[in-house]
Chains A and B, each alone.
Chain A
Amino acid sequence: MSTIANSFRTQPDDSGHYGQFGGRYVAETLMPLILDLEKHYRAAKDDPAFQAEFDDLMEHYVGRPSPLYFAERLTEALGGGQIWFKREELNHTGAHKINNCIGQILLAIRMGKTRIIAETGAGQHGVATATVCARFGLPCTIFMGATDVARQQPNVFRMKLLGAEVVPVESGAATLKDAMNEALRHWVAHVDDTFYIIGTAAGPHPYPELVRDFQSVIGKEARAQLLSRTGQLPDLLLAAVGGGSNAIGLFHPFLDDPDVKMIGIEAAGHGIESGQHAASLTGGSPGVLHGNKTYLLQDEDGQITEAHSISAGLDYPGIGPEHSWLHESGRVEYLPVTDDEALDAFQTCCRLEGIIPALESAHALAALPKVVKDYREDQIILVNVSGRGDKDIFTVADALGVKI
């Protein structure tokens, strides 16, 4: 795996494609903008001052490096390989989302943009975006499905406290997909001054690439931390995949280590066979949506179908294009986990480790019982605990039939 030709880390190609996936499927109005964004991103990437500012904010504002933690009691309880957590839930704002928002707002400022828009599902990316907008003094408009606004009031209030305008989107099923449509519509009408901070490693090129690069801080840190603490690389990486930014951020720095196995966990909702799930790779097929070609939930006519997951952050009918490519190339395996399995893992993690994980991260944890027996106790399984679960306590209580 040492030669370039065999590398899994050289995607995308010059036109933004990951094999057949990715690309720039946008209206002509936006094409010049994303070409301009790509140009500025290339320049920023090569600018030590940009990297230095990013690193400084990561350390002093976000609180990085996030800890690498040996989950001793979970390891004992499951009886297999050693289970380690990458503690992204300890970041400022409580999830990995902030890594990407810091990177993108620095780009926006570099490009001279004066206002920020973003889409959000559960509100985590919206809160992270509102946070960096407050930090840098830029006005911020967050598009959020009206259904999500109603069920995620604490995050709506957080965004407003941080100074953001929250626009409820009534179209479609009024969830994340529709919020993204509306953000794109708004962007088309405000091309001169507005920067769109996309929340996951999807959308038109160069978004999947730059989100991955900003989130790769997760994998780079984990790699250095594990080598320093144990002298070895992990044997298995586990991460939940909705759009897939926390997973690609963890996986990418390890892609060319052939002995590191990786599994992305998709949300199987009520089960793949029920049709009510958000598992684009397991239960979908390739198509074009929101600027990129990737695996989607769709019917035979190419109409997009509604996703379902108990985790709002995984409740999206698509997936980042690099995951589609890694899936087809076989480098990464993708495994579905149901709502019920995630709920069990959520509670287990609370009780055994004293960590309330996000429901998204609970999906990754829920894969452990399925795979842990394949590993010896000297082998390392690293789970990305991508976010904290405080935001999810109402959903979990409801699912468990508890009134709070």
Chain B
Amino acid sequence: MNRIAATFARPHPALVCFLTAGDGDTAANLDALVAGGADIIELGMPFTDPMADGPAIQKANLRSLGAGTSTADVLAIARAFRQRHPDTPLVLMGYANPMIRRGPEWFARAANEAGVDGVICVDIPPEEDAALGPALRDVGISPIRLATPTTDDARLPAVLDGSSGFLYYVAVAGVTGMQQAAIESIEANVTRIKQSADIPVAVGFGVRTPEQAAEIAQVADGVVVGSALVELVEKYGTEAPEHIRTLTASLADAVHGAQ
């Protein structure tokens, strides 16, 4: 069983935590996520034009690029994480252009060698799967797709086809880190997705507090938190790890105890 599947096989929902690679002391911050109880790590690949992100993650992208973060640096962060944490699933999340710049096969091979388990590419919908999906599947990396409130029943099979690992349900039509969706809408959509496919569903966008996370964890297999953690990196800099660990621990308690 691969790392992602093993995580979702546990008896409790999973806490999925996002940080942008190269923003602050990423290794220390990622260790703080694991120490706090995060089950899956999403490592953001910085991009100059993060079109699906709200202000918090936009700024993290620019801080990272401003510090000179390269694709090689992101892969090195992933590889070092894998050596320190052999069992924690690691997912790269980002935009198409940095991923396909040297060719999809190059990226898939490099990510695989770095110990990456899954890839979320925000701007490659199922219609453009050929741009990256086959290369990922060839090396055994899960292409993790996004479903949204606008993904209707007619479209859902196309989204699920070729997805693996888990499905990322984007709770709000909007960018990261802004408003939260009503729990009724999240529950209805997660139920709808799970009727169509036997795949774990993690819910993200707008999830900031343990209370919100607990509520969502009652109806989903996982909860994704990003902007709230990224804001701690911005606010506390080198002191961020202890704050990240504290928030992650309270989120993990909430999520793990929800079902």
Contacts and interface: CB of A to CB of B under 8 A. Distances in A.
Interface in B100-153: 100-101, 122-125, 127-128, 131, 145-152
A151 B122 CA distance: 33
A289 B49 CA distance: 8
Interface residues of B, number: 44
B49 A28 contact: no
Interface stretch (A132-140, A218-226, A296-304): A296-304
Interface stretch (A70-78, A181-189, A228-236, A244-252): A181-189
A191 B65 contact: no
26 contacts: A23-B127, A24-B125, A25-B124, A25-B125, A25-B128, A26-B123, A27-B122, A28-B150, A28-B159, A29-B148, A29-B170, A32-B152, A32-B155, A171-B62, A172-B48, A172-B62, A177-B49, A188-B173, A188-B175, A288-B97, A288-B100, A301-B71, A302-B47, A302-B100, A302-B101, A303-B47
Interface in A4-60: 15, 23-33
B174 A188 contact: yes
Given A288-B96, A300-B101, A24 B127 contact: yes
Interface of B: 47-55, 58, 62, 65, 70-71, 95-101, 122-125, 127-128, 131, 145-152, 155, 159, 170, 172-175, 178
Interface string A262-287: 00000000000000000000000001
Given A25-B96, A189-B178, 17 more contacts: A23-B127, A24-B125, A24-B127, A26-B123, A26-B125, A27-B123, A27-B146, A31-B150, A33-B150, A181-B51, A185-B52, A191-B173, A288-B95, A290-B49, A290-B51, A298-B97, A303-B48
A301 B101 contact: yes
A15 B96 CA distance: 18
A171 B58 CA distance: 8
Given A185-B175, A287-B97, A288-B97, A28 B147 contact: yes
B50 to A, nearest CB: 8
Given A172-B48, A177-B49, A288 B131 contact: yes
Nearest to B47: A303
Nearest to B123: A25
Contacts of B124: 25
A143 to B, nearest CB: 12
A207 to B, nearest CB: 15
Given A25-B128, A33-B150, A188 B58 contact: no
> Nearest 6 pairs between A and B by C-beta?
A302-B101, A189-B174, A302-B98, A302-B97, A288-B96, A29-B148
Nearest to A171: B58
A304 to B, nearest CB: 5
A28 B71 contact: no
B48 A29 contact: no
A291 interface: yes
A24 B48 CA distance: 19
Contacts of A181: 49-51
A189 to B, nearest CB: 4
B82 to A, nearest CB: 21
Contacts of B125: 24-28, 31
A24 B58 CA distance: 22
B123 A291 contact: yes
Contacts of B48: 172, 303-304
Nearest to B176: A185
A99 to B, nearest CB: 27
Contacts of A23: 127-128, 131
A303 B98 contact: yes
A77 to B, nearest CB: 44
Nearest to A303: B48
Nearest to A17: B128
Given A32-B152, A181-B51, A304 B97 contact: yes
A355 to B, nearest CB: 37
Nearest to B98: A302
A28 B145 contact: yes
B81 to A, nearest CB: 20
Nearest to B74: A301
Name, among A31, A181, A301, A303, the residue most crowded by chain B CB atoms within 10 Å (CB to CB). A301
Contacts of B178: 189
Nearest to A170: B55
Contacts of B52: 27, 185, 188
A209 B47 CA distance: 27
A289 B147 CA distance: 21
A30 B147 CA distance: 11
A291 to B, nearest CB: 7
Contacts of B50: 181
A171 B172 CA distance: 22
Interface string A310-351: 000000000000000000000000000000000000000000
Contacts of B147: 28
A293 B124 CA distance: 11
B127 A31 contact: yes
B122 to A, nearest CB: 6
Contacts of A291: 123
B49 A172 contact: yes
Contacts of A171: 55, 58, 62
A24 B97 contact: no
A189 B97 contact: no
A381 B172 CA distance: 53
Contact of B98 (A29, A189, A301): A301
